[in-house]
């Protein structure tokens, strides 16, 4: 027998073989998670609550053992790049219409119990973090189509293919895991994923890609026009520094490697939409080779309401197929978390040890 996998009790969610670990929740597990989520929602009242963030790891220890084991194994073994949990029911009426604006002051309680369940699972992988430069510094992001961004390469886009990418590839503090929870996906839009271990790249190009020769620039989501957070005091100073970093990264990015970490099974960092086209033909060729290999290895997951996916942002790239948004309250709606394995790495970019907002 090979390494133990959680049995595929449901039909497979993916249409191509790639490193996905699937966990179909059993009824008793769903009931336990719902009970904890309801209690936590009542106690803290807000997914952005600092007290909840502080206590979340302790509470996550109460999740059913099989869920904890599966997520810990996923984190420790790194043998799969994607984890999908299915089976949590989502009440479509309860969550209400997909919002027309991301800053919309909707009643937070509508999604709170789902947010809590998602956050607690994420807390088994690390600590969810927020970006001061994204969605007003909120820890839990919304991903739904917005008319004004319809054609953009951003979570709020829809009409264009969201090309595969490492999340926040330009940033040294980019997330270890990208978490998405599906609240609604009537359009059956596919989230795309490709695992680095499936990439067929010859040794020469592997070697080029492993050298610090590639330049990344900040993506649109971090640029000043897409966040209007007004800060005072120390936060204003940190924000100023972070904007300086973004500007520096835009005007004069440091060269970095695309493949790094273990030579046999490397980590990956790539986002062609936000990388400078190399002048050196050898580097351009290497990028073409890995890009074609990723296209070949690409698989996908059509998230259903209640599905939670964690993509290992060091082991896989992800994206999204295009779709026709209606902007009528019924569009696809995901919640999103960035999860750091080690908060200390970002300490000098956060206000205090417990704060989760990275500047
Ligand atoms: O919409 C999706 O399925 C993925 C979007 C995405 O790339 C992200 O939220 O980082
Ligand atoms: Fe992304």
Q: Ligand 1 center to residue 8 CA distance, Å?
A: 25
pLDDT single digits (tens) 305-348: 999 999 999 999 999 999 999 999 999 999 999 999 999 999 98
Q: How far apart are CA 235 and CA 357, in angstroms?
A: 10
Question: Among 118, 180, 220, which is best to mutate for testing ligand 1, by the most ligand atoms less than 8 A from CB?
Answer: 180
pLDDT at 224: 59
Residue 59 reports pLDDT greater than 60: yes
Q: Ligand 2 center to residue 351 CA distance, Å?
A: 26
What residue owns the CA closest to ligand 1's atom 1? 320
What percentage of the chain reaches a pLDDT higher than 90? 77
Pick the more confident residue, 220 or 213.
213
Q: Is 142 in the pocket of ligand 1 (CB under 6 A)?
A: no
Question: Among 14, 146, 162, 313, which is best to mutate for testing ligand 1, by the most ligand atoms less than 8 A from CB?
Answer: 162
Residue 11 reports pLDDT greater than 80: no
Mean pLDDT of 290-296: 97
CA angle 169, 174, 179 (to 5 degrees): 105
Q: Is 14 part of any domain?
A: no
For the chain, the average pLDDT equals 91
Q: Is 9 part of any domain?
A: no
pLDDT band, residue 236 (cuts 50/70/90): confident
Q: What is the dihedral of CA 82, 188, 273, 129, to 10 degrees?
A: -50
Residue 192 CA: nearest ligand 1 atom is 3
pLDDT at 234: 79
Q: Ligand 2 center to residue 192 CA distance, Å?
A: 10
Q: Is 207 part of any domain?
A: no
Q: Is 131 part of any domain?
A: yes
Residue 41 reports pLDDT greater than 80: yes
pLDDT single digits (tens) 75-116: 999 999 999 999 999 999 999 999 988 877 667 689 999 999
Q: Is 120 in the pocket of ligand 1 (CB under 6 A)?
A: no
pLDDT at 291: 98
pLDDT at 133: 81
Q: Ligand 2 center to residue 35 CA distance, Å?
A: 31
Q: Report the number of distinct structural domains present in the chain.
A: 1
Residue 294 reports pLDDT greater than 90: yes
Q: How far apart are CA 245 and CA 19, in angstroms?
A: 34
Q: Is 265 part of any domain?
A: no
Task: Give the closest ligand to the alpha carbon of residue 162.
Answer: 1
Cβ-contact 36, 62 below 8 angstroms: yes
Q: Is 294 part of any domain?
A: no
Q: Is 59 part of any domain?
A: yes
pLDDT at 16: 39
Residue 318 CA: nearest ligand 1 atom is 7
What residue owns the CA closest to ligand 1's atom 7? 319
Across 12-21, 55-64, 234-243, 258-267, least confident range = 12-21
Q: Is 201 part of any domain?
A: no
pLDDT single digits (tens) 24-38: 999 999 999 999 999
Q: Is 143 in the pocket of ligand 1 (CB under 6 A)?
A: yes
Instruction: List phi, psi (to 5°) of 202.
Output: -70, 160
Task: Give the closest ligand to the alpha carbon of residue 301.
Answer: 1
Q: Ligand 1 center to residue 281 CA distance, Å?
A: 31
| CATH number of the domain where residue 172 is located | 3.60.130.10
Q: Is 300 in the pocket of ligand 1 (CB under 6 A)?
A: no
Q: Is 358 in the pocket of ligand 1 (CB under 6 A)?
A: no
What residue owns the CA closest to ligand 1's atom 3? 191
Cβ-contact 315, 104 below 8 angstroms: no
Q: How far apart are CA 180 and CA 143, in angstroms?
A: 9
CB atoms within 10 A of CB 60: 19
pLDDT single digits (tens) 251-275: 889 999 999 999 888 999 999 999 9
Task: Give the closest ligand to the alpha carbon of residue 300.
Answer: 1
Cβ-contact 336, 168 below 8 angstroms: no
Q: Ligand 2 center to residue 268 CA distance, Å?
A: 14
Q: Is 174 in the pocket of ligand 1 (CB under 6 A)?
A: no
Structural domain containing residue 126:
20-195+302-358
Residue 227 reports pLDDT greater than 80: no
Mean pLDDT of 283-309: 97
Cβ-contact 44, 109 below 8 angstroms: no
Residue 167 CA: nearest ligand 1 atom is 10
């Amino acid at each position: 027998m090979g390494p133990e996998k959680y049995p595929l009790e449901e039909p497979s969610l993916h249409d191509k073989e790639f490193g996905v670990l699937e966990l179909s929740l059993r009824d008793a597990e769903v009931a336990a998670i719902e009970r904890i989520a309801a209690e936590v929602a009542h106690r803290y009242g807000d997914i952005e609550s600092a007290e909840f963030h502080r206590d979340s790891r302790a509470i996550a220890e109460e999740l059913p053992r099989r869920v904890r084991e599966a997520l810990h194994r996923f984190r420790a073994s790194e043998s799969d790049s994607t984890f999908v949990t299915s089976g949590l029911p989502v009440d479509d009426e309860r969550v209400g219409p997909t919002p027309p604006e991301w800053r919309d002051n909707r009643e937070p309680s509508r999604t709170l119990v789902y947010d809590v369940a998602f956050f607690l699972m994420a807390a088994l992988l690390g600590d969810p973090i927020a970006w001061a430069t994204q969605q007003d510094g909120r820890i839990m992001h919304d991903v739904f189509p917005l008319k004004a961004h319809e054609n953009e390469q951003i979570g709020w886009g829809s009409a264009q293919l969201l090309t595969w990418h490492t999340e926040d590839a330009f940033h040294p503090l980019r997330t270890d895991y990208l978490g998405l929870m599906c609240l609604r996906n009537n359009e059956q839009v596919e989230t795309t994923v490709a695992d680095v271990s499936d990439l067929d790249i010859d040794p020469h190009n592997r070697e080029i890609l492993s050298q610090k020769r590639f330049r990344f620039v900040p993506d649109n989501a971090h640029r000043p026009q897409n966040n209007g957070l007004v800060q005072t005091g120390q936060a204003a100073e940190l924000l100023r520094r972070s904007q300086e970093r973004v500007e520096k990264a835009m005007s004069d990015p440091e060269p970095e490697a695309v493949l790094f970490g273990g030579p046999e099974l490397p980590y990956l960092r790539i986002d062609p939409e936000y990388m400078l086209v190399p002048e050196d033909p050898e580097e351009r060729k290497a990028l073409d080779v890995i890009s074609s290999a990723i296209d070949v290895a690409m698989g996908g997951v059509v998230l259903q309401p209640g599905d939670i996916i964690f993509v290992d942002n060091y082991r896989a790239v992800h994206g999204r197929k295009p779709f026709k948004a209606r902007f009528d309250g019924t569009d696809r709606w995901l919640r999103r978390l960035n999860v750091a394995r080690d908060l200390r790495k970002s300490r000098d970019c956060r206000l205090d040890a417990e704060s989760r907002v990275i500047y």
